[in-house]
A and B are shown apart, each in its own frame.
Chain A
Amino acid sequence: MRILALRVRDVRNLEPLELEPAPRFNVFHGDNGQGKTNLLETIYVVAALRSFRTSKLADLLRFDTQVAHIGARVERGGLERVYELTIEPRSRRARIDGKVVRPLARYFGEFNVVLFAPEDLQLPRGAPADRRRFLDRAVFNRRGDFMPLAQDLDRVLRSRNALLREIGDGRKPLRTAGTLLDVYDEQFAQLAATVTSARLAYLDELRPRFAAAFEAIARMGIAVDLRYVGPDEVVAAGPEARAAALQARLVATRPQDIARGATSVGPHRDDVVFEFGGRDGGAFASQGQLRALVLAWKTAELDLLTEIHGEPPILLLDDVSSELDPQRNRYLFDFLAQRRSQCFITTTHPRHVLVADERVDHEVREGKII
């Protein structure tokens, strides 16, 4: 899969842009604050309809403008399609080949973009919420139906929490609202079980590739693993029994949930741990090893997607090289040179990007691609 042409209007600090990217390595260098990451963001957003930097797409609007437009002509398996996104302060419109896509779920699945950013490298040591987001981004690329599912789950979660608060502060007596809470328990348990199962299935697919990639990078003979952390009986249950296990758990934590006005079990509380020699890598691995763990995940993710979709996904590499030591940087680019992904790479220094062939360099200065 590759982007044949990219067109950007009124996004952040970017000047109007028409770009025909090279099929393999597109390197964008320039000082900080010139718009390199903004450029990667436009590609990410036109594929995923959400940003990795903000939850509000309206933040992408260029200062003092009311409409932003991103278009990408994408070739996949010999077929060309045009993906377009129009962003306005309070709405967004997605089109494929000029036709408005409704429901939005239909937009996903064919245009896969993998992002690798410097902040990812701190992930094993960072906040669980960041790891959940990282995992969900990967699952979403694996299966396009994941995002509407996760959005529904979020809505049910917020509904349940709103109801818990109404009961907690006495606006609704539990005696009459109990049945209603039962309903949200059931609905939440069903969706939460599906989301949890999707995450677990993804980790099962990724795990062997992750372990092999880590060994290739670190050559230490240390066993690594990805462990999903949630309530034991929920994680251990099969996909069929998972909803029932979650629901039982919700019943058990109900008094506590009412007191807190929040739901204490579910995918929004789970975590994924990078295990290093049987222990939590976030706590026990060195800085270099942490980076190797994340690098292993990302390369495994690329290979998995290539295998699943029969096409390598597009890779956005946001100034990662400056955070990697020379050896791991070398590994990353050797890995990419052996694959077929179209890559968009930002860097402060072009010499950090260790590829020589099939490479086109651009400078980014004050929002202009030169």
Chain B
Amino acid sequence: MSDPIRRLVQHLARLPGVGEKTGTRLAFHLVRAPRQQTRELAQALLDLADRIRLCSVCANVTEDDPCATCTDPRRDPEVICVVATPADVGAIDRGGHFRGRYHVLHALLSPLEGIGPDDLRIAELMQRLGPGDGTAPPVREVILATAPSVEGEATAMYLARLIKPLGVTVSRIATGLPVGGELEYTDQATIARALAGRATL
């Protein structure tokens, strides 16, 4: 294998979900691809590296700082939805049901992997909840939308402990049955959650 190909394979194989085999397949695909397409891919990668950064307010990925979501006047600045990753912002925003602002943590607490509070964008979040300079309205509610996993729950519980003393309402997204799902095929742990979180009609 010639050197540029070998180098590309090495880089591709570092990507999540891609191993040596898939990396090699992708590399040879690109060798055969039209030159224009390969150049465009390279340019997209360069743009990613040079132009994408984190919003200084919500820590989501953006080209402009602050990001379009943080500056959108139609979005309610008094409600902040806290998520683990930029992909989670996309997932929640696609529905269009949430019209507040976001905050991206970029990780979940995990002492097992040595990830502590300092590795999450918590200081930035607390800054948004603080007294501020009087120009922005105070935050009324923080919605904790981390996954219902061991790590996601721990992170939500930790944030709740930090935020509640500030007098801000803290809520947690519900867990339970998927809409359109069938009860019969739902695992017992999920059913137990759904029962525990039942609502009065």
Contacts and interface: CB of A to CB of B under 8 A. Distances in A.
B112 A187 contact: no
Contacts of B158: 179-180, 183
Contact of A158 (B109, B112, B161): B112
A183 B154 contact: yes
Classify chain B's interface size: 10 to 19
Interface stretch (A45-53, A143-151, A218-226, A328-336): A143-151
A177 B161 CA distance: 12
Contacts of A148: 187, 189
B187 A152 contact: no
Contacts of A177: 116
Given A105-B188, A105-B189, A172-B116, A180 B150 contact: no
Contact of B188 (A145, A158, A184): A145
Majority secondary structure, A binding face: helix
B111 A179 contact: no
A166 B161 contact: no
Contact of A149 (B109, B111, B185, B189): B189
B111 A145 contact: no
Contact of B154 (A106, A109, A159, A172): A159
B174 interface: no
26 contacts: A105-B187, A105-B189, A144-B188, A145-B187, A145-B188, A149-B189, A155-B112, A155-B150, A156-B150, A156-B154, A158-B112, A159-B150, A162-B111, A166-B116, A172-B116, A177-B116, A179-B158, A180-B109, A180-B116, A180-B117, A183-B109, A183-B158, A184-B111, A187-B150, A187-B154, A187-B157
Interface of B: 109-112, 114, 116-117, 150, 153-154, 157-158, 161-162, 185, 187-189, 192
Interface of A: 103, 105-106, 109, 143-145, 148-149, 152, 155-156, 158-160, 162-163, 166, 172, 177, 179-180, 182-184, 186-187
What 3 pairs between A and B have smallest CB-CB spacing?
A145-B188, A162-B111, A105-B187
